[in-house]
Structure 1
């Protein structure tokens, strides 16, 4: 009698490709950490090259007499003046005053413009009533209305916040209208057929779909709030970055004047970056 003994050793099977099929390609190796860091450093260098070149030209042009040093201070002197303003607390006092005005007007404009834009986009009657009036005001520059705001609200904080609100209102409003009107009508009708109407329709469908376009208007409004703010602070202000720039020019403190201008640029870039970060967080997952 022949006995059969089964082997208990573990056998590793090798997958065999089926006839007529191509073998699967080997998995791609992910780039190492060193490679990733190199690519990231290169991207940062490319993006910042123009800024570095501009700052270098700013330093070299007055230093070597390419432009009159009296009217364009070297970057090193501007940074030294900014440091002195920081140590004295004057820069923070003026920056905080400007930020309060700018953020107040910007926030009011967003809170009013987004709901109004959604109503105009979704309800034809509201659009027919408000669009002609809004078209007139849209084509009237905020700076041109500065004397009117001063006469109505006085020369204090109220007039400055009001004109910033006016300037920020229009980009938010019209981008909200554009975004809401571009929502797929079939999607809206499908959701309405399920009984979702009124505020829940805006909350669940229209606002999420229009959010990227709305944020485009919000970022434009953020830039407008800084520009109009400086203009308003040149008239009748006792604090703020616009006041700092104007007062420094009047007293011929040129490095200090450029320090104020540089601070305005830093605040504007930082504000835009904050809005871009908020947009990324709120619209995450929409691509899927």
Structure 2
């Protein structure tokens, strides 16, 4: 409870500083509209059917990319961690691929998938899968060998070992990875919408920025931030519920 209140206090302080800087003219109000004006603009935008439709489009793309990237990445990460030879071969390649800015591949996705739903989901998937693979690999490698030895010595089947040993040991690390991977996923989809799209909240934000509509632009940024924080806190809540599985 204390941590939550501290976070809320920090956010309120930042908004207060934002308001003061703009209202007192320390920062040009045309460049940085006040926090109150931005929040009023946000409320106005949310009343528009077009903006709500764009939010729904973005949410659908983000969830689709996330639903594909997490199981595929987790499976690949598990295979990498369980096979030493495979791990020695692929780990350097994974770190290399992870270090490359994903935005440089966006034109390729447009050429392959065109401008539409598949392109944005595909790029979101591509932006997310590497962090899921690496996190899953780390989670599997963190399992104590003694646990597996005891389970197998008692004749546990593969399914029982996965359910009773792997999952409880990996879950706390995986939940932390989900929070991080959603950031990559959301960023990838928004970037794809800003680069080439006919709908989605990223497309709207790009349009507001190109037309120097700073109130709408900042309102869109606040909107995305609230969505990201809400998901982060939801995963954090699940993580606390599973804290007894930490070893």
TM-score normalised per structure 2: 0.91
Larger helix proportion of the pair:
2
For the pair 1:250 / 2:196, whether they are aligned, the reply is no
* 156, 166, 181: which one aligns with 1:221: 181
What's 1:182 paired with? 142
1:203 CA displacement: 2.2
Indicate the residue corresponding to 1:141 in structure 2: 101
CA contact (8 A) 1:82 1:91 kept: no
Gaps in structure 2 of 5+ consecutive residues: none
Distance in 2, matches of 1:222 and 1:80, equals: 28
Is the Cα contact below 8 Å between 1:105 and 1:161 reproduced in 2? yes
Aligned 1:229-240 pairs, distance under 5 A: 229-240=189-200
What is the TM-score with the length of structure 1 in the denominator? Answer: 0.79
Structure 2 contact 80–87 (Cα < 8 Å) conserved: yes
Structure 1 runs (4+) deviating above 6 angstroms are none
- Sort the Cα spacing of 1:133 and 1:45 in 2 relative to 1 into closer, same or farther, 3 A: closer
Match status 1:202 vs 2:162: yes
2:74 aligns to what? 114
- Alignment correspondent of 2:56: 96
Q: Distance in 2 between matches of 1:150 and 1:180?
A: 35
Q: Point out which structure has higher relative CO (alpha carbons under 8 A, 6+ apart).
A: 2
RMSD: 2.0
Q: CA deviation at 1:213?
A: 1.1
The alpha-carbon deviation at position 216 of structure 1 amounts to 1.7
The alpha-carbon deviation at position 58 of structure 1 amounts to 1.2
Shift of the 161–260 alpha-carbon distance from structure 1 to 2, 3 Å rule, reads: same
Q: How many pairs does the alignment contain?
A: 247
Distance 1:223 1:119 in 2: 24
Q: CA deviation at 1:269?
A: 0.3
Residue 105 of structure 1 pairs with residue 84 of structure 2: no
Is the aligned partner of 1:285 residue 2:244?
yes
Aligned to 1:262: 222
Match of 2:132 in 1: 172
